[in-house]
A and B are shown apart, each in its own frame.
With several copies, the nearest count.
Chain A
Amino acid sequence: MDMEFSAEQQNFRDSVRDFFENTYPSDIRDKVRRGVSLSKDDMVRSQKALASRGWAAPNWPVEYGGTGWSPTEKYIFENEMARADVPPVVPFGMSMVAPIIYSFGSKEQKERYLPDILNSNVWWCQGFSEPGAGSDLASLRTKAVRDGDSYIVNGTKTWTTLGQYAEWIFCLVRTDPTVKPQEGISFLLIDMKTKGITVSPIQTIDGGFEVNEVNFDDVRVPVENLVGEEGKGWTYAKKLLTHERTGIAGVARSKHQIGKLKKIASSIPNGGGATMMEDDDFRRRLSEVEIELMALEFTDLRALAAVQTGGAPGPESSILKIKGTEIQQAITELFVEASGYYALPYTPERFDDGSNVEPVGPDFAAFAAPRYFNVRKTSIYGGSNEIQKNIIAKAVLGL
């Protein structure tokens, strides 16, 4: 056991750091640093910048464009990304549909879709959840009925993140209502320009518009857009959920956020002649989160190491989802605490780039409460934290 980086790994870190500092678009980093919202164009440019360096898809197999990095190199890369305020990769194409396509898709599908995902030419979104089916995907109702060389899709998907930008959607649809609920589900790729698709925004409690409802009204989808076998969609999706979980720990981002919080807390008065950073109560709360995060960082590294020796991420990755989201939520809560009264002002224009509205109170405070409200979602989506506990109970503890 050894936690030191080798000389080679240190060189790798330096080259990553150099790339982010000198080659990657600095205006995007600046926006992230200031907390303002990124446009679709920003997110696409970010991805293309990574792709141009060959670093777009660290988790893909090398043959499709992956980097072939070791867990330690991935760890270094994630840390450097967070450190440089490079936004996280939009996951729907890169981390969600792509692994399904390269694992279960046909040769034609791989050739058609993967390069555009890698180079961020096509924006994907996810069509899993439905108004009646949250974490319980087996109960979904969107139907795809075979009609010649097409499926006719009818139904409603919801909580589709950034669906407003999407050109394609990957969906779980019910192709066979007569078999066991899990067995009648298939995995379809659908062009969002197809007739009969309507996207309606859903406003979230923080005031933002990030998620959508997507309605399918007699939408005709070519049979060639089916991934893998009909009726196997549930099996594919489960694999995808495991992928989603490993990414979701978000250790590097949380470390970076804690660093920011410390910097901010060092300049905020505590009302007792000291700064919040010198305030024992605030420090204790911060230390509690930091200790959890230091632990999770190693839980993550241990899981990565186990993957390298033992194969696919196991049910233990549910820990990463649960603890990772709890920590993200706790950090946003500390930003609210640090804001004091200035948690109250609601100034959504501060999220717009180029807004020249003067901040009310300290600069960071406008973002504190909305972020806190927004990240409550993280313990709900991707299989709620309760579902994750069910998974661990069953698969790890054998209960």
Chain B
Amino acid sequence: MDFAFTEEQELLRDSVQRFVRENYPFDKRNKLAETEAGFSSENWAMFAELGWLALPFSEVDGGLDGTVIDTMIMMEEFGKGLTLEPYFPTVVLGGGAMRRAASPAQREAVLPGVIEGTTHLALAYAEEQGRYNLADVATTARADGDGFVLNGRKSVVLNGTAADWLIVSARTAGKQGDAEGVSLFLIDSSTKGIDRRGYRTQDGGRAAEVTLEDVRVSGDALMGEAGAGLAVLEAVIDEAIVAIAAEAVGAMTALNAATVEYSKTRVQFGTPIGKFQALQHRMVEMFMETEQTKSLLYRAAMSMDSGRPDAARCVSALKVQTGKAGRFVGQQAVQIHGGMGMTYELNVGHYFKRLTMINSLFGNIDYHMRRFAALDGTTEAA
């Protein structure tokens, strides 16, 4: 057992911190969120240059063989800065699916561009009727000659508009809800029959509704084995949950610091509000909830890097705790900031909104509480 970060990891953290400090003053961030693209392509180029876009990919694919913990470190710092660049959808979600399921030819076609910063990805897995159930896939991929024809609608595809490639889950067999029969396809987003309706998200990001109408792809578009896509999706999304939980820990850390600082300077009734015991205890609870989340974050990341059988259960525990802590910390940070916490111009409300959206992604508290219980028995006795 070892809780220390490596020197490389400390350097990685420093470098992301420096990027955030130098490039993300909050007013600049808010202006960036209002632009068409919603993020800065200069920043993205810098990500490529710094090697961040190569981080989780294997050396064979031109990557750096980074671990889940490496990504965690990066995402935690992104969370503190409320950064807008689509690292998460392109590298973590899209990249995660590529790493796990793409053929050598697919990797060659896509990953060099991702690593160079010229190619964006999006994972189109959610559907309206399916809520958080990854197996509830109504989109179909019908075999047609040596290719497939896809039809269906994909919900809230993060980075869906900017994406050059879409990774789409579709049913090649089985009934809606079956674990078997879900396949993944790597599709050029300009393929005929794909309609993308883009929009902003509550937290300043970008997403799209993706409609597939008779989208014809070759057999090469299939990622991995036909019908075996669900396990891939689950693994990708477990890893993605660790990443956004890290982002949430970053956001909570920043909120706690801002709230404690504000409470020391804001005077009411002749006293800094940070001297009121009820608020002190609440800030202590915010601190404790953040620490507890960080503990589960480390636990899940380590478990995943070690390939332990309890990894998925640790991830669900982490998502539950992230949802609870994020809600509590976000709400209380706004409350303690009073009217100021309600303003668009202050960062506090934006952290709160991001934490709220993180709870809505990949299964909320209830969903992961059930999954946690269902996975009982996977935790090894120590």
The reply to whether A and B meet directly (CB within 8 Å) is yes
- List residues of chain A with CB under 8 Å of any chain B CB: 1-5, 9, 71-72, 75-76, 79, 83, 129, 132-136, 138-139, 158-159, 202-205, 207, 211, 255, 262, 269-273, 279-288, 290-292, 294-299, 301-302, 305, 309, 316, 319, 322-323, 336-337, 339-347, 360-362, 369-370, 372-373, 376-377, 379-381, 384-386, 389-390, 392-393, 396-399
CB pair A281–B366 under 8 Å, yes or no, is yes
- A contact face: mostly helix, strand, loop, or mixed: helix
CB pair A340–B302 under 8 Å, yes or no, is no
CB pair B1–A269 under 8 Å, yes or no, is no
B263 within 8 A of A: yes
Instruction: Give A283 to B369 CA distance when docked, in angstroms.
Output: 9
B349 within 8 A of A: yes
Partner of A292, one of B267, B292, B382: B292
CB pair A305–B4 under 8 Å, yes or no, is yes
**Contact A294-B335, Cβ < 8 Å, known A360-B197, A361-B128:** no
Instruction: Give A288 to B278 CA distance when docked, in angstroms.
Output: 25
Task: Write out, one digit per residue, whether chain B residues 255-282 have a CB within 8 A of any chain A CB (1) or not (0).
Answer: 0000010011001111000111111110
Partner of A344, one of B156, B342, B352, B369: B156
- List 16 additional contacts besides A309-B4, A373-B349, A398-B264; criterion CB under 8 Å: A3-B299, A135-B338, A205-B343, A282-B366, A286-B373, A301-B1, A302-B298, A336-B360, A343-B202, A343-B360, A345-B207, A361-B209, A386-B279, A389-B285, A397-B260, A399-B274
Instruction: Give A377 to B285 CA distance when docked, in angstroms.
Output: 21
Q: List 15 interface pairs A-B (beta carbons < 8 Å), by A numbering.
A: A72-B1, A271-B131, A272-B133, A284-B369, A287-B320, A294-B317, A298-B299, A299-B291, A322-B288, A342-B155, A344-B203, A347-B200, A360-B199, A389-B285, A399-B280
Instruction: Give A158 to B299 CA distance when docked, in angstroms.
Output: 41
Max chain A Cβ within 10 angstroms of own Cβ: one of B1, B130, B209, B382:
B1
Find the B residue at minimum CB distance from A207.
B344
Residues of B within 8 A of A207 (CB): 344
Distance (whole angstroms) from the CB of A147 to the closest CB of chain B: 30
Distance (whole angstroms) from the CB of A130 to the closest CB of chain B: 10
Residues of A within 8 A of B320 (CB): 287-288, 291
**Contact A287-B372, Cβ < 8 Å, known A345-B199, A397-B283:** yes
Residues of A within 8 A of B338 (CB): 134-135, 380, 384
CB pair B302–A269 under 8 Å, yes or no, is no
B13 within 8 A of A: no
Question: Which residues of B (193-238) have their CB < 8 Å from a CB of A?
Answer: 197, 199-203, 205, 207, 209
CB pair A337–B373 under 8 Å, yes or no, is no
Max chain A Cβ within 10 angstroms of own Cβ: one of B4, B131, B260, B292:
B131
